[in-house]
Amino acid sequence: MSYIMVDIESDGPIPGDYSMICFGAVLVDDTLDKVFYGRLKPISEKWDPAALSISGFTREETLAFDDPTGVMERFATWLQEHSVGRPMFIADNNGFDWQFINWYFHHFLEENPFGYSSTNLGSLYKGVVKNMRKNFKHLRITEHTHDPVDDAKGNAEAFLQIIKRYKIKR
């Protein structure tokens, strides 16, 4: 099994009514050099300017992004090429990131290569340190910029630190 750290940016709170604008994914290994980045054209006329502003893109820029079907097909191929067995989706806020990736895979490709499960990095860390108030974010090396590749990489760095410090089997 391969861990894939994912981060997404959107123009609203839920998939379908709003759009996933871009996402990044990093294969969690010792190099963190296998990355995927996709920018997706909006699927809806509905969008929240405050949510979109987090991504750093304007609505006009997003309208020129790639067709979502093609992006999801390329991501599925990337997962197949870089995963051993079924990949495991992991994210800082998997409740948010997972809903978009899962919806987009099922809506555009009719299946999700990740299956039906995801892992929340924050919850994992709280369990490992046995403290529900602890946060893992101090373990990131790459700055959290809201560029989804940077954010996925920083979270992957933290995940690797958790594995190393607490001697967790992968």
DSSP line for 69-126: HHHHHHHHHHHHHH-SSS-EEEETTHHHHHHHHHHHHHHHHSS-TTTT-EEEHHHHHH
Q: Which residues contact 88 (CB under 8 A, 6 or more apart)?
A: 1, 2, 3, 4, 114, 117, 118, 119
CA 24 – CA 4 distance, rounded (Å): 10
Torsion, Cα of 122, 161, 88, 155 (10° steps): 60
106 is catalytic: no
Q: Which of 68, 49, 31 is nearest to 153 (CA)?
A: 31
CA 87 – CA 144 distance, rounded (Å): 24
Could you say which of 106, 107, 138, 146 is catalytic?
146
- The residues annotated as belonging to the active site are 146
